Amino acid sequence: NAGVMQNPRHLVRRRGQEARLRCSPMKGHSHVYWYRQLPEEGLKFMVYLQKENIIDESGMPKERFSAEFPKEGPSILRIQQVVRGDSAAYFCASSPDSLPAAFFGQGTRLTVV
Amino acid sequence: KQEVTQIPAALSVPEGENLVLNCSFTDSAIYNLQWFRQDPGKGLTSLLLIQSSQREQTSGRLNASLDKSSGRSTLYIAASQPGDSATYLCAVRPPGAQKLVFGQGTRLTINP
């Protein structure tokens, strides 16, 4: 089992561009969670998805951020018109059921220049 | 709103010492509490999970305790080794929620 796979590992975007972060859950896992870790801060919950459904997006910024988990393929976290404050590490976690998951990916480190 | 605090923010000790990391949470109504390890530039590795009905969990040199009534958990590391150097994160799961609420972590350095 390859574990939770996130790509890219590092992403550099200019202000105003779009960032797409991908997460492939562990085999057999149908629940995905996204967290953001700002510099020198703890992880903050963003969104919880099951296949084709957003279950809890209470941690997502109201604008520019969206997430999806299609029937086929990885989960995508999309950030439109990035700003410097979006620079952070974005972590994905997955679980086989509705537990909050102990299986985290290695993260995507987004740098906005 | 649940808040999780970890003290100290950083800790440096010589190899071989036993040490305790602290975690406190503001709302005692939790489903479970989890300790993670995070290495620089890497993801999180789950170390121990304590259900709300449990008082402690042990794995090798690690022991985690939970006192829900006082809103506290401790992670005890015995006979520390340089390989234990990492950031340790505490997270609680609120009842009825699927998310984890994390503390800011304790950055641990074990000096050879």
Q: Quick count: other Cβ atoms within 10 Å of Cβ B45?
A: 15
Q: According to the model, what pLDDT value does residue B61 have?
A: 97
Pairing of strands A65-68, A31-37: unpaired
A51-101 pLDDT per residue, tens: 999 999 999 999 999 999 999 999 999 999 999 999 999 999 998 876 666
- Among chain A, residues having any CB pair with chain B shorter than 8 Å are 4, 31, 33, 35, 40-45, 48, 55-56, 58-59, 91, 93, 98-100, 102-107, 109
Pairing of strands B86-93, B106-111: antiparallel
A109 in Cβ contact with A8 (< 8 Å)? no
Q: According to the model, what pLDDT value does residue A1 have?
A: 55
- Among chain B, residues having any CB pair with chain A shorter than 8 Å are 4, 34, 36, 41-46, 49, 89, 91, 93, 97-105
Averaged confidence pLDDT in chain B: 94
A24-44 pLDDT per residue, tens: 999 989 899 999 999 878 899
Q: Quick count: other Cβ atoms within 10 Å of Cβ B71?
A: 20
Q: According to the model, what pLDDT value does residue B43 have?
A: 86
B20-45 pLDDT per residue, tens: 999 999 999 999 999 999 998 888 99
The SS3 of residue A80 is coil
